[in-house]
Amino acid sequence: MVESYTDTPISLSPVIKAVSGGCNLRCNYCFYSGNQPEIKRMSVDTLEALTKHLLESPSKHFNFIWHGGEPMLLGIEFYEKALEAQTRYKRSDQDIRNSLQTNATLINQGWVDFFKRNSFGVGVSIDGPAELHDLVRVQTDGRGSYDQVVSGINQLKAANISFGGIAVVNRITVNHPETMFAFIKDGGIPMALNRCNANTDDPEEVRKLAVGPAEYNAFLLKIFDLWINENNPAIKIRPLDELVRATLGYHTESCSFLGQCERYFTVDFNGDVYPCDEFLNDRYLLGNIKRQAVNELWQGGDFRRYYLGRRGVIINCEGCEWMDVCNGGCIRDWEGSKGMFNPKEISFCEAKRSLFQTIKLRLSELGYTRGII
């Protein structure tokens, strides 16, 4: 039975685009490619309302995910105000974390001190070694950004700040799994390998760099073999570590496998709420957190239609042996399609099932047979 949405989840991880899409880089696969928007800054009034309404909700666990664009463009003062507001509105039964996804080019000692003092989680976007990264993650003048990113990373390391990396697996990097694995192994930081996907109406440059599900899975399996052969548990690679955990029947926190998209809604700079940062258009506008409490959003018609629609689609997945692993997958993987339909009918589902089956067999060969195996 498809459940209703009358209660707010106990844990929320809102993705807050406090500068909307504003950025100091011009990455070729960005969906703003060739049409970089102006930097729109979240006002203090919106920040106050956002914080107040989130912390007035029944939820008890929060991870404020500051995203962009490049969220560091707002400066340290903005985030000090965010922390002050969180302190004022936080109940005694609530715990709050903050994390920030950055291209790391603006990191300096002031930011390092701020991150450390306030226990901020940090994610750094880096697409492998310089010869791969600099082909796509470029500055406004077209020069690569690798040296600036590594400078930021080294400052985080020097301060013993834990952080992770995110690489976008694009048309170039998908052909270099050995190079990417060596980079991850030598870098000594947890890495996520996210597929570059594109919609039919995205700029041509973005579509040229997109990678199909089958190609991405072949890349992941090559990385998986290298990872297993290395036999070093200190090497952390998403989504592979999450896939292994899920395949063996363990709990996973990755939003891609939880089937709980509603926990990760996106808030734009003006308070508008959307299901995801790839769904920022009027068709998917769920409300505005400046004007509506979280429970009001949860019980609103637009919110219910979207998420109940997704749950309706998942009914088509019943009986699939991988349902407990995949939970219908991430809607962003549905080949850019935003309509609700049967995931089994599109290539991403076939590719995912093949990936799960192959990992299951390889884990079984290694003697891991817990959970669904």
Within-domain flag for 350: no
For the chain, how many structural domains are there in total?
A: 1
What is the reported pLDDT for 370? Answer: 54
SS3 for 164? strand
Residues 5 and 260 sit within 8 Å (Cβ to Cβ)? no
Which tens digits make up the pLDDT trace of 234-269? 999 998 888 888 777 776 666 666 666 777 889 999
Task: Return the higher-pLDDT residue of 146 and 4.
Answer: 146
Cis peptide before 69 (omega within 30 of 0): yes
What is the reported pLDDT for 100? Answer: 97
Within-domain flag for 3: no
Within-domain flag for 372: no
Q: How far apart are CA 41 and CA 43, in angstroms?
A: 6
CB atoms within 10 A of CB 362: 16
Q: What share of the chain is helix, strand, coil (3-state, %, to 5)?
A: 45, 15, 40
Which residues, 6 or more positions from 325, have their beta carbon under 8 angstroms from its beta carbon? 243, 246, 247, 257, 356, 372
Start-to-end CA distance of the chain, whole Å, equals 27
SS3 for 170? coil
Within-domain flag for 221: yes
Q: How far apart are CA 150 and CA 105, in angstroms?
A: 8
In which domain, by residue range, is 219 found?
A: 13-299
Confidence bin at 2 (pLDDT 50/70/90) = very low
Which tens digits make up the pLDDT trace of 155-175? 999 999 999 999 999 999 999
The proportion of the chain whose per-residue pLDDT surpasses 90, expressed as a percent, equals 52
The CATH number covering residue 222 comes to: 3.20.20.70
The conformation of residue 3, written as its DSSP 8-state character, comes to P
CB atoms within 10 A of CB 231: 8
HSE, side-chain direction, 13 A CA sphere, residue 109? 0
Within-domain flag for 202: yes
The yes-or-no verdict on residue 371 having pLDDT over 70 is: no
Residues 68 and 280 sit within 8 Å (Cβ to Cβ)? no
Q: How far apart are CA 330 and CA 225, in angstroms?
A: 24
Within-domain flag for 287: yes
Confidence bin at 5 (pLDDT 50/70/90) = very low
Q: How far apart are CA 309 and CA 145, in angstroms?
A: 41
Which tens digits make up the pLDDT trace of 214-235? 899 999 999 999 999 898 889 9
Task: Return the higher-pLDDT residue of 371 and 178.
Answer: 178
C-alpha pair distances (Å), 57 with each of 126, 304, 365 = 35, 17, 47
Within-domain flag for 286: yes
Highest mean pLDDT among 136-145, 195-204, 254-263, 298-307: 136-145
pTM score above 0.85:
yes
Within-domain flag for 319: no
Q: How far apart are CA 261 and CA 265, in angstroms?
A: 7
C-alpha pair distances (Å), 287 with each of 51, 279, 304, 338 = 16, 13, 12, 18
